Copies of this chain bind each other. A is one copy, B any other.
Amino acid sequence: MKNIKAEVITIGDEILFGQITDTNTQFISYELSKIGIKVVRKSSVGDEEQEILQILTEASLRADVIILTGGLGPTKDDITKTTIAKFFGVGLHTHQPTLEMVSDFFIKRGREMLEVNYRQADVPQNCEVLLNKVGTAPGMWFEVDGKIYVSLPGVPYEMKYLIQEYVLNKLKTYFKTPFISHRMIHTVGMGESFLAEKIVDWENNLPSHIKLAYLPSLGIVKLRLTATGKDGEHINNELTNQEEKLVQLIQPYIFGYGEGEKLESAIGVLLTKQSLTLATAESCTGGYLAHLITSIPGSSVYYKGSVIAYSNEIKSQELGVSTTILKEKGAVSKETVKAMAEGVRLKLGTDIGIATSGIAGPDGGTTEKPVGTVWIAYADENKTVAKKFLFGSLRENNIKLAAIYALNLIRLNKRV
């Protein structure tokens, strides 16, 4: 079986000059890797005809699949379409269904269509249009000399729509790619290298057509298992088998499965299933914990609110932390954080209270309590527990890690 190679090309001065972050190529590479197509190079070029022609020529010598994003807007800077037509030596013609969609878009908004907007429905004669139902720039698919060229708009959600709706399936069909299946396991509370140590024997015994990838981010490590083969059912059974073995080795750290899982969603599901309500009391996380929780649609079902007690007065006045504790043990202490968790639980009348207090930095550290010291507490009707963490020196990371470990404390105490 031949290895299918791809190149991803972004077109646009704003990426080239560092004015925006390019997240498109990461998405495309990741999705291609999932169907067994390997990206061998990524490039960005400006909105210049010569640059685009050159990269197209180079890429067509190296890759089987060439995916371009950007440069399809209505302004005069956007020259991708005419340049591709030139590359293939064809003219442009109007694509009627796209023209109707674009007209519709303008009619609905009561806006007048300009000449440049009509031009959005023009496409190179040799392309198959991928109808863009979430925007006005059509996606384009070209099959030339056994290679596939795809041109997509640069707007991330339009690009994602076209990739998921058309491109991946069409590539699978065209290249008769082998059956590829994935399993994603999400873990929290253990670093990549420790996790690797725990599963080293299992990993070494994996058959060669099953691969494991570690995808670490702050506080979280995702494990992706990928199996490749001809027989879908067989592959899936094997994968299920291997996944079960893996899960047994690291069960306590797993918070979820599947592609789009997040810790804050998993906590939401856990609370909803058990009909539990939650309140938070935040000092060092300063609202970030509440933000994670409320970033999930529908979180108002289980989340009642938070008291962000950035000052000691608020800790005692609003959360009932005794001034003696604050004076004798300090704001960053087991006693304070426990009192905060219990206080907010009683105050907001919820089943669970979570509290954070720590030294996010860069200032405020002492020898005894250096920057990165964080206490997190969990309180419910039966118990109150607190845990101390020592994170690093970066304020932003300390805040984010504290919020993740606070969510994890709910999971550790309430998982079934």
Contact = CB atoms under 8 A, between A and B. Distances in A.
A295 B403 CA distance: 13
Interface in A11-33: 15-23, 25-33
B304 A305 contact: no
B51 A33 contact: no
Interface string A184-216: 000000000000000000000000000001010
A295 B395 contact: yes
A297 B18 contact: no
B291 A286 contact: yes
A78 to B, nearest CB: 17
Given A304-B310, A314-B305, A295 B399 contact: yes
A294 B306 contact: no
A396 B309 CA distance: 25
Nearest to A33: B17
Interface of A: 15-23, 25-33, 38-46, 51, 55, 58, 213, 215, 280, 282, 285-291, 293-295, 297-300, 303-311, 313-314, 318, 347-349, 361-363, 395-396, 399
A42 B43 contact: yes
Given A22-B25, A41-B43, 10 more contacts: A16-B39, A18-B25, A18-B33, A21-B21, A25-B44, A280-B308, A286-B295, A297-B362, A306-B310, A307-B318
A51 B313 CA distance: 60
A315 to B, nearest CB: 9
Contacts of A349: 313
The A interface, classified by DSSP as helix, strand, loop or mixed, is: mixed
B213 A298 contact: no
Contact of A311 (B30, B33, B300): B300
B300 A310 contact: yes
A51 B40 contact: yes
Contacts of A305: 307-311, 314, 318
Query: Number of copies of this chain in the oligomer?
Result: 2
Contact of A16 (B29, B293, B307, B314): B29
A318 B27 CA distance: 43
Contacts of A26: 15, 18, 20-22
Contacts of A297: 361-363, 395
Given A288-B287, A310-B299, A395-B297, A19 B304 contact: no
Given A287-B294, A290-B287, A395-B295, A19 B23 contact: no
A317 to B, nearest CB: 8
Contacts of A42: 15-16, 42-44
Contacts of A17: 29-30, 33, 38-39
Contacts of A58: 58
A39 B318 CA distance: 54
B46 A40 contact: yes
Nearest to A311: B304
Contacts of A45: 40-41
A219 to B, nearest CB: 15
B295 A19 contact: no
Interface centre among A22, A280, A308 (most CB of B within 10 A): A308
